[in-house]
Structure 1
Amino acid sequence: MAPERESGRAERTPAGATATGRPRVRLDQPRPPRRRIVPEWDPEAFGRLSERIARFLGTGRFIVWMTIVIILWVVWNVSAPRDLRFDEYPFIFLTLMLSLQASYAAPLILLAQNRQDDRDRVNLEQDRKQNERSMADTEYLTREIAALRIGLGEVATRDWIRSELQDMVKELDGRHNGHGVFPTVTAERSHGRDVDDR
């Protein structure tokens, strides 16, 4: 009988379990999610919600609605029949509700301010990098313009070319009139003009 019990027990064990009854850890499959005592939430969604609430708390519409609620609260608890009043004259429950609202509003406003500070820090970093790129581009363009000015100093100007052509025409006229050799004075004059025109 004992071997039959063991064989029946072996047939009942699942495929992923060991002989001791513990499930075998499979490395090719992800672990099942564990239950947590603390609830999880998306910090980005919570931050957006806190900014929305803080933005509403900073509007005049919130102040108007809060003033209307407080006036109705006080009028009801003063003029309503005694059986229907839920907060008598010192208005302790109203004070408790206002302090509760303030205790939640302050951290929400601080959270919204922290998120805004983070955004401002990222924007300032991007502005700083953009300014560095702009300064590098400006320095590059300045160097290029300086190189172009230096290069233009070595380029023949229109007046220099005109004077050289006039000198060549005079020399050709002189040659045509019977002078077979170029006079050296004209070459010296043209060389001096070349230096001056640059």
Structure 2
Amino acid sequence: MRKIRIIEHISLDGVIQAPGGPDEDRDGDYSHGGWAVPHADPAIGEAIDAAYGESFDLLLGRHTYDIFAGYWPNQRGPMADSLNAAKKFVATHRPESLEWGPVNDLGSDIVKGIRRVKLKDGPDLVVWGSSTLTRVLLEEGLADEVPLLVFPVLLGTGKRFFSDSGAPRELALIITKAASSGVLMNTYRAVGPLRTGTFSELEE
């Protein structure tokens, strides 16, 4: 079984919408696009490369797929080559309009489709953006690793990584590094349901 790895640029208050530019995602009249750019650092690129690994497939929501499809085929370089060559698995109700390939849709039952793809032999599956899809993966316990690039900004509004409706879960920090720009590069591993306790237990 291959792993599912969710990579996100995230603000301190949990927003993941449009980190890369003003027009990346204007859903909801979002006006803060490009908030990650002032904190760019070579260490961030190295962390992203490490999170992707040498070989990967992409697992994407339809909106992120369309953003990527309009950008990466026109780019050159190792990252562009890797993304363009990767097999894409997309959550969509319009499979007939998928043109950036190689590509497969996940079918009408998204969770069932993800489980089917995860069980197949192949490289690990990488998720980027795709705020709706990430919530499904977390709520269904399908995410194995979560590399988060935590930026020192508070955005207030925007699409969020964490859902208010999901079951509480626990993650374990397995890698952490800091970029000189103040970005924390944390990688978490899924552990299971949330544990609770009281401080009085620690005093016994």
Range class of TM-score, shorter chain: under 0.3
Relative to total residues, which structure has the larger strand share, 1 or 2? 2
Give the TM-score taking structure 1 as reference length.
0.20
Higher relative contact order (CA 8 A, sep 6+): 2
- Rg larger in structure: 1
